[in-house]
Structures are given as structure tokens and as C-alpha cells.
Amino acid sequence: MSVCPLDWRYGSNEMRELFSRTHLLKTMLKVEITLLEALAEVGMMDPREVASVNQASSTVTLEEVDEMEKKTGHDVMAMAVVLAEKAGEAGKLVHYGATSYDIVDTAYSLIFRDALLLLETKLLRSLDFLSSLAQKYMETIMVGRTHGQHALPITLGFKMANYVYELSRSLERLEELKTRLLKIKMAGAVGTGAGWGKNWISIQREVSRRLGLPVHEISTQIAPRDGHAELICQLAILGSQLERFALEVRELMRPEIGELAEAAESRVGSSTMPQKENPVISEKICGLSKVLRGMVVPALENIPTWHERDLTNSSSERIMISHSLMIIDEMVDSFDELLRGLRVNEERMIQNLDLTKGGIMGESLMLLLTRKGLPRHMAHNIVSALTKTVRNDGISLYEAAIREPKVTSLVTEQELNLALSPKNYLGAYKELIERAIRYYKVVKERIFAAVAQR
């Protein structure tokens, strides 16, 4: 009986498979076999025995390990015993010199490597599309809002480019994280490697070579948990960025704004209100982001342990690690779905731009008056008074300004028209959009280069 929605509702099959019990067992068995191969490399084991154990490992099942755990009360020991018994005489050195978290931490590093690659691949696909939207809507003028109020005109492409930049930074963080997270831990009971004697460094180096991961420079019985905490924190940052975009769509999808909307298709908005189109994809992203951020505290709490380790990290990580990566996987997939179905209402953007009857251009008029010789604070007072007239009398800012002698004595009608035109007050929007996209392309190339090196 399934209890967790991650079993059926959230996350892709690819990510679910990576964190399935079957795949974790398979990966841990791979680490055990790699350790035996390293023992054989230093002359501590016959390669033919390794081959026998490797063959036996393919027959180890979860059911057998679970049954053995009932007797041993220890999951990794249960796996090692089942493997050793299946291998017969050849299995006498299974788990030799190792402690449980040599196997567990190294196995998770291998799984993290695949999980992060999957995430990066999906994010790159979404960012390619988001970059194309930034270029497509480069000239689409809309209201820029601060505090939920009309601030200055921007373009939809400029808005999109901000997300291109922010999400590119998360891609950078995930790539940089790998240098600290993706390492093997093969150091024995307290991290000194004493169980392998003089061969330890050679064994550790061989396991590292065969698995394609570097080693931790030093560790206790477990790999330093700052790496795990960094992973969860970075995923939470990424999730919060995705939520910021989703929140934007939710706000702009309000009927009274109506500038953006999710793809409606044949989706039911409400079980009782047939007229509704709800931003359900965006709301799902926002909801899951709350859960993901909740994983940060236990991840940080796992960094301090007693002495060379205790068991407090183990239980929380069984939930935290798989759930965090499944949740962000669902969020990234949902983000891509949201992007590709996004509806843009340019007509409403134009209508909304005129809601303040030119008031959105107050800064432009204030700075024009300043350039004409008025002290800035005086220009601010004049335009502030004019915008109050606009609100109270229902006239446009142009009409209010053209009646004000303090304005007309300094600027011409043509200058006033130019200053109050939104298309003339977009700053270096094109250059900024292009700069954000260039930044993303550099990050993308760096990631491709790193993957090629591996």
C-alpha cells in the first residue's frame, strides 16, 4: 500500500527509479564488488573469487535482505551477509575492512551524480525555451510593478531574462556543488582506514578510479554532512526561484490583470464553478517549494554529530534525500510544462499600462524637469502633486502637466510627449536581455565541458 504521493503523483519515473530501494541496493552491491576488486588489485583476494561474488550479487533480492535484517537488525550488514552466503567460499572477504557508510555514502554519491545530471538536463531544456521567450517578447511593453503597484514600464522579455539569469545561477551552484558532494567515502570505522592496514590508500585509490569519483580527503565514519546540507540548500534555492516565477504567473493570471495565463486545454478549473481557470501548475510549484524548504533544517541539523558519528543523520536522510530530489524533479518538470503552455495577452498589457493614465511615467517627467534646471526634490514634489490630480480628477498626466505653468515654462509639448511615452523609457533593456542570455550560454557551455571531461 502506497502512502507517500511521491510514489505515484510527483516526480518522474527516471528520478523515482534512481531513488528506488531496488536501485539503491543495486548501487550498494556495486560498491561492495568494487571494494573486492580493489582488494584483488593489491593482492588480498583472488580475481576469480571476485568474479564469483559479482555473479552472486546479481541474484540478491530486496526480500532476502529484508528477511536477513529482521535477524541482524542492521540493513547494510543484512545485505553483506546475504551476498557473502550466496557467494559461498568466494564471499569470505565481502565487506572486508569496510564500515556501513563506506558503502552507503559512496552509493549515494553515485546516485547523486545521476540525479544532478538529470536535473541539469531538464533545466537546460527549460532555460533554452525561456531564453527564446525572452527574445520573442523583447519588445512587448508591459507594466513593471514594485510592491504590487505600477512602477515603470518594462518589457515581457526583460522580465523573462531576469529568470534566465537567476536560474542560470542555480545551474552554476549545482555544478560547483559536485566538487564537494560527489566523492567516495572508503575509510573504515572511524575514517583512518586501519582495517586495510598498509594497503588502505591503494585500495581507496582503486575504488575511486573504478567508480570515477574522487575521494574525501579525510572523514570520520561518515562523509562530511556539509555536502548533503549544501545539496538540500541549493535545491531549496532553485525551488524558491521556480516558485518566484510561478507566483508571477499566478498574480498576472488574475482576471483583473489578465496578462499571462496557464494553458487551459480541457482542464477543469473547479468542481462547482465551470467558469474558472485556475493556475494549478503554478500553485503546485509554490506548494511543493514550501515542503522543499522544510528539508533545509534537518539537512543542517545533520552536520553536527557525536564524535566520529552517531545515527541521528540516518533516519532523517532516508526521507530527506529522496524526497528533496523527487520534489525538485517534479517542480522542474512542472516549470517546463508551465513555460510551454504559457499564454500571453499583449492587448491586456497595453490596457493595463494606461490604467494610471500616464502616471507610470512620473519618474520620467520628474527627471526631465530636473535636467531642465529644477532641483530634483522640487521636481519630485511637482510631479507628485500632478499624479494626485490625475487620480482625483480622472485626467491624464499629460493633461495635468500641460496645465501646470511650472512644467510648461521649462519643457515643450514635444518634449513632454516624448517623456511620457513608455517606449522611450525602457532603459538598456535590449542589452540587458542579451547579457542575461549570454550569461546562461556561458554556464551551459561550462556544464557541457564538465560532463565531457567525466
Instruction: Dump the DSSP string for 139-157.
Output: T-EEEEEETTEEEEEEEHH
Residue ranges of the chain assigned to CATH 1.20.200.10: 98-194+213-350+433-453
C-alpha to C-alpha distance for 249 and 277, rounded to whole angstroms:
13
Q: Which long-range contacts (CB under 8 A, 24 or more apart) does 56-64 make?
A: 56/83, 56/86, 56/87, 56/88, 56/90, 56/91, 57/29, 57/30, 57/32, 57/33, 57/83, 57/86, 57/87, 59/86, 60/25, 60/29, 60/86, 62/21, 62/22, 62/25
The terminus-to-terminus CA distance of the chain in angstroms comes to 40
Which burial class, exposed, middle or buried, applies to 249 when counting CB atoms under 10 A from its CB (0-12, 13-18, 19+)?
Answer: buried
Task: For residue 147, indicate whether it is catalytic.
Answer: yes
Farthest CA pair distance, the chain: 102
Question: Which residue in the list 58, 74, 132, 270 is annotated as catalytic?
Answer: 270
Contact 33, 49 (CB under 8 A): no
Collapse the DSSP code of 215 into the 3-class scheme (helix H, G, I; strand E, B; otherwise coil) and give the result.
Answer: strand
Residue ranges of the chain assigned to CATH 1.10.275.10: 1-96
Contact 210, 34 (CB under 8 A): yes
What CATH architecture applies to the domain 1-96?
Answer: Orthogonal Bundle (1.10)
405: its cell numbers? 505653468
Number of H helices, E strands in the chain: 19, 4
Per-position pLDDT tens, the chain of length 454: 788 888 889 999 999 999 999 999 999 999 999 999 999 999 999 999 999 999 999 999 999 999 999 999 999 999 999 999 999 999 999 999 999 999 999 999 999 999 999 999 999 999 999 999 999 999 999 999 999 999 999 999 999 999 999 999 999 999 999 999 999 999 999 999 999 999 999 999 999 999 999 999 999 999 999 999 999 999 999 999 999 999 999 999 999 999 999 987 656 666 566 677 899 999 999 999 999 999 999 999 999 999 999 999 999 999 999 999 999 999 999 999 999 999 999 999 999 999 999 999 999 999 999 999 999 999 999 999 999 999 999 999 999 999 999 999 999 999 999 999 999 999 999 999 999 999 999 999 999 888 777 6
Q: Strand runs (DSSP E) across 335-399, as ranges?
A: 343-344
Residue range 359-419 in CATH 3.40.50.300: no
φ, ψ of residue 396 in degrees (nearest 5): -85, 165
What CATH architecture applies to the domain 98-194+213-350+433-453?
Answer: Up-down Bundle (1.20)
Which burial class, exposed, middle or buried, applies to 432 when counting CB atoms under 10 A from its CB (0-12, 13-18, 19+)?
Answer: middle
Beta strands 260-261 and 343-344: pairing type? antiparallel
Question: Which residue in the list 147, 266, 271, 409 is annotated as catalytic?
Answer: 147
pTM of the prediction? 0.95
298: region left, alpha or beta (phi > 0 left; psi from -120 to 50 alpha): alpha
Residue ranges of the chain assigned to CATH 1.10.40.30: 359-419
